Chain A
Amino acid sequence: MSTTDDELIDALRAGDERAFVDLVDRYSPAMLSVARTHVANREVAEDVVQDTWLALLKGIDGFEGRASLRTWLFRVLVNIAKTRGVREKRSTPVDLAATDGHPAVSANRFQSAGDRWPGHWVRFPERWTESPERSLLSVEALDLVRRELARLPEQQGLVVSMRDVEGYDSVEVCALLQLSAANQRVLLHRGRTRIREALAGYFEAVS
């Protein structure tokens, strides 16, 4: 995993099959997630990812590393996706508009104006106590988070996937997904808030 993209590109030029497999395995999950938001279904998205890799092979000699490999891959991916027919419903503006100005954490978690401490927790969030039945390291917790991630509004899910699952930094995610820094943070915030709530439900179910 520590092999850099530059090293893999050099190896790929030299015809190293392992390097190609490493690159495909490293980037295809994020590429598929991005492609899914552009085209009608998973099958087409998979075609788009494949075509992007073929484009890399074709263009490898002209690839001078001026752009990072990731940047190049995602730019080509989006261009190819657009030639495959733009999906009818784009969710970007909807995601943001629907949430504009509304807090990510439900208002009923907090005391209201007439209460003793307006704006403070009605009840403190319960600590997540690890037990034989409930653990952050469990398969159940992982499955729960994976399911909640899949249920997030599309752009939220995509940003959380790129940032917290794949580990890309904010500057890169903004560039790859063509989001403003502020919008990226809003999407990340709302997505993470929901993932926390899902885990909270899991821990509270036992107590």
Chain B
Amino acid sequence: MSRWDGVDFGGIDCREFAELVTDYLEDRLDGLTRACFEQHLRACPGCDTYLDQIRESRRVLGRVVLDTISADARGQLLAAFRTWRSGRSGGSGSG
């Protein structure tokens, strides 16, 4: 463990780092805390990996397709749209 003696971890430990990750990514850290966070990041390979993995997780989330309304419901909406449209072109003279 002596390889870590004298390493500047930015005055925060890994547990604190992990809890600050979202505030960091959201750009919500004050200047001092941000500097501490970034110093820790440079010094600690474990936290560097951790932050990377949060970013990777977001990338996978970005590929998720959320559940949506059923094809039936979508079809009903389309039918309602057509009724609505024919009502408009027939009724108001607002062209």
Contact = CB atoms under 8 A, between A and B. Distances in A.
Contact of A149 (B46, B47, B64, B85): B64
B74 interface: yes
B1 interface: yes
A30 B53 CA distance: 25
Instruction: Select the residue from B23, B59, B74, B78 with max chain A CB neighbours within 10 A.
Output: B74
Interface residues of A, number: 57
B15 A110 contact: yes
Contacts of B77: 20, 24, 50, 53-54
Contacts of A104: 18-19
Contacts of B89: 15
Interface in A163-183: 164-167, 170
A116 B1 contact: yes
Interface string A74-117: 00000000000000000000000000000111010110000011
B78 A17 contact: yes
Contacts of B49: 124-127
Contacts of B54: 192-193, 196
Interface in B21-66: 21-23, 26, 28, 44-47, 49-50, 53-54, 56-66
A70 interface: no
Contacts of A195: 57, 60-61
Given A32-B69, A165-B61, A199 B21 contact: no
Contact of A105 (B15, B28, B59): B15
B50 to A, nearest CB: 5
B51 to A, nearest CB: 10
A125 B23 CA distance: 20
A82 to B, nearest CB: 19
B9 to A, nearest CB: 8
Given A17-B81, A32-B68, A125-B53, A185 B28 contact: yes
A160 B61 contact: yes
Contact of A165 (B46, B62, B74, B80): B62
B56 A136 contact: yes
Nearest to B82: A17
B68 A196 contact: no
A63 interface: no
Contacts of B58: 164, 192
A163 to B, nearest CB: 9
A144 to B, nearest CB: 9
13 contacts: A15-B85, A28-B68, A29-B67, A49-B73, A53-B77, A57-B80, A105-B15, A109-B15, A110-B13, A119-B15, A125-B46, A161-B66, A195-B60
Interface of B: 1, 4, 9, 13-16, 18-19, 21-23, 26, 28, 44-47, 49-50, 53-54, 56-70, 73-74, 76-78, 80-82, 84-85, 88-89
